[in-house]
Chain A
Amino acid sequence: MKSENYMNPYLAGIFLGLVLLASFLILGAGLGASGGLARIGAALEAAVAPQHTQASAYFGSWGPNYLSYYLVFMLLGIFLGGLVSALTAKRLHLTVERGQASDIKLRMVYALIGGLLVGFASRLAQGCTSGQALTGGAMLLSGSLAFMVSLFASGYAVAKFFRGQWHD
């Protein structure tokens, strides 16, 4: 069972750009993913400590129906779309992606810490690569472009320290 080749990156880019444009024209807002994740976080926190969450300064303003937000549905859509696409391209394999010679635990620890940092940073910047860099970039917003430049600058600056997870 051989996986299909990826789409030509420029064609995929244009396709993605048109999806973003459709989002602008239909929703009036661009694409976003971290907002949905944060809403799930708020709902989980509320399930454990409802009063604390409701009283908290940040999540509190979203309540009490934390999940009734368009980005939660968009995130669900991303997953479904990814699933359909991965299935049809025969790319659905249960695996931990890492370098062949790399330790699986190292990869998992990095993924967890990376997730923590990304989750925090997305709230601070009010968006992630989708909501700020791509959407705000296409809108030519100064802050979003500053976010994108900072993201790549720090990524390139520290990349060599985390290369261990990709050793073949």
Chain B
Amino acid sequence: MIKTFFGTGTLDTSAAFLAALIIGVFFGVALERAGFGSSRKLTGVFYFEDMAVIKVMFSALITAMLGLAYFQALGFIGPDELYFMPTIYGAQIMGGLIFGVGFVMGGWCPGTAAVGLASGKLDALIFLGGAILGSIGFNELFPVVRPLYTWGSRGVVFIYQTLNLSQGSFALIFTLIAVACFWGVEFLEGQRGKATPKGYGKFLTSVSVGLVVLAMGFTLLPGTPLPSGGRASGEESILAQVEGGRDHFEPEELADRLMRGEPNLLVVDIRPPGEYQSFHILGAVNIPLSKMPKELAPYKNRGVIVLYSNGMTHPAQARDSLYRQGYGNVYLLTDGLKGFMERCLKPVSLRSEPLSPEVAARVRAWRAYFIQAAQVPAAAAMVAPPSDQLPEPLPGLVDPPWLARHLGQPWLKIIDLRSQPEYNSIHIPGSLRLDVESLRGLVNGVPSMLLPPALLAGQFSLLGIHPTDLLVFVSGGKFHDGTLAGMACERLGHRRYAILQGGMGAWLAAKQPLDARLPRVVPSRYPVSSKDDFTVDYQRVLKAMQEKTTIILDVRPADYYHGKKTDEARAGHIPVAINRPYTEDLVKAEQQVRLKPVKELAGAYEKTISSRDTPVIVHCRTGHQASQTFFVLKRLLGYKNVYYYDAGWTEWAARLELPVAPMMNK
């Protein structure tokens, strides 16, 4: 593994300065040899007279891109060893537009002007003087420019993420575009009668082939890991502010961010443990000064670290020390804990200055969160959601924007049902993982049955779920994981649950915040009660089959229904059962599995089921797929009498006395 100066936080040492100087020398030689010590040659690109800028710049870019990609993909260098600049669209697009005008006018850019000066060009000297003055002008105008400087801040974003491509395929496309450009500009120059030295065409051909082969080879390698915290938004805008000298964090902002439960925010109380225990800002961790370098190391230049003590002196000293150790993400809480108490937690009634209703409401919200929660943790954990914030109807579906708006609410529990490695590598901030298989087990000799209420309540308790919480289930590729977890809620009578439409795929596509850290969970005691009046056994199904007033829906794939395939004792289906594969209710697009729009689903089921009062029994093989049809019919379409034959085809096929269609003659 390569360790870089940046990665080890030693970019400000004399060794790094020497390395930068040497790299600069090679950079200067490369620019000079390419002919970039001439402003005429540089600006030639804008008049289609000399396209060297395109040729040199893109061959350099592609070479370095492929080189870096290979080094990363082969594991020689980790993502945290590299400084990835944040994307700030507004500032970078505006900057680019102004830069282009300056480049054409001045004939230089900063690096080439330095080489131009070394070649004796006096216009380069003037240009450099102008650029230095321009930088000073920026500093003077910074208070005015600041909004633009952070406008459109997106954090570290890679173009292939923005375009929803894999790194390898984007790199290949980019390489092909560059090579096409090379041949295009050569053709253009040829038209203008520019002579080329002998062997020039051959060299270009081998460069083109070499780069394309390298790019194709890269597509065969696994993608490179992303920088930690790099995909989360929010903290980069503050990092940009620190560059602008804002190393203070205002108490109001800290309070809001803590209440929102923002990921990547580490609040450190640097007072002695005794003082910390008697009172601290909810969510803060206690790290005494002496232990700080060791304990903060994992957060170095990742996310935002806010230090506080009673006053400002100690945190400022700690910050300076950390800054010298290469931390660029350390902030001080303005006026310390005193300021926080005074500005956020002082009751409205005790304040001498008049407060607007909005500010008074914020103060009450902060007090409710930080004081009540600190004193009565159990009560805080059982905050009921305000009714106007709940999605309609419940149980139902929510979309990523809704969920993103409510991240961090104490009454919201996000439950991620994907596989453990998927969850462990990245998940919705604060979400908890649950394996839906832990909700099922052997009951009455039938495998894969939804567990009895007491065991389900036990699982809910481990997740720290309270009966008032809103649960949002997030699935990966199987939408019916969410509905199976929903069946557990139904059995316990927990009606406040919703399923994220499109699952994790939709969340990723919406570019919402992500986190890799595990949440803190305080186990609860979920009360045991059964509200299950919907699960039916085979006798009830048999009766329904004979009476023919109940519709039996077999939601397995058609091949299983028709007996062409089976994983069970017998093949086929329950006589009179109608096949409506659960997949018919889904649309798959772009790594997302979504339920079809409610209108479409309503239309489809109206054809089979005459009225909303008609009794319907849904079943599949194990109860997994049928849970989805149950959810669709009962919760989305409002069918009143929907029943769930959980044991399903597993049991029916194994009870040889039960009839099966079609009759198989062996």
Contacts and interface: CB of A to CB of B under 8 A. Distances in A.
B165 to A, nearest CB: 10
Nearest to B65: A138
Contacts, number: 562
B88 interface: yes
Given A9-B55, A113-B130, 6 more contacts: A57-B146, A58-B139, A61-B242, A108-B122, A144-B85, A155-B100
Given A41-B139, A143-B89, A143-B92, A78 B134 contact: no
Nearest to A23: B23
Nearest to A119: B134
Contacts of A135: 85
A133 B110 CA distance: 13
Contacts of B100: 150-158
Interface stretch (B101-109, B304-312, B381-389, B453-461): B101-109
Given A16-B34, A114-B105, A117-B99, A27 B138 contact: no
Nearest to B6: A28
A19 B27 CA distance: 6
Contacts of B34: 6-7, 9, 12-13, 16
Contacts of B182: 10
A24 B5 CA distance: 10
B245 A134 contact: no
A6 to B, nearest CB: 4
A118 B2 CA distance: 35
Interface of A: 5-31, 33-34, 36-38, 40-42, 44-45, 53, 56-61, 68-71, 73-86, 89, 91-98, 107-108, 110-159, 162-163, 165-166
B369 interface: no
A19 B56 CA distance: 13
Given A111-B107, A118-B134, A141-B87, A96 B27 contact: no
B469 to A, nearest CB: 37
Interface in B308-361: none
Given A24-B68, A77-B27, A122 B99 contact: yes
Given A77-B20, A78-B31, A143 B87 contact: yes
A45 B108 CA distance: 23
A28 B86 CA distance: 15
B110 A122 contact: yes
Q: Residue among A11, A81, A115 with the most chain B CB within 10 A?
A: A115
B521 interface: no
Interface in B128-157: 128-143, 145-146, 148-149, 154, 156-157
Interface stretch (B75-83, B532-540, B560-568, B646-654): B75-83
A158 B19 contact: no
Interface in B42-86: 43, 46-47, 52, 55-65, 67-68, 71, 77, 81-86
Contacts of A125: 91-92, 94-96, 99
Nearest to A11: B203
A22 B71 CA distance: 11
A112 B126 contact: yes
A118 B110 contact: yes
Nearest to B105: A114
A74 B23 CA distance: 7
B93 A146 contact: yes
Contact of B82 (A8, A11, A28, A75): A28
Interface stretch (B10-18, B415-423, B494-502): B10-18
A78 B96 contact: no
A128 B63 contact: no
A114 B65 contact: no
B13 to A, nearest CB: 9
Contact of A16 (B30, B65, B83, B149): B30
Given A28-B11, A146-B96, A148-B96, A78 B115 contact: yes
B23 A127 contact: no
A162 B106 CA distance: 9
Given A74-B23, A77-B24, A80-B24, A117 B101 contact: yes
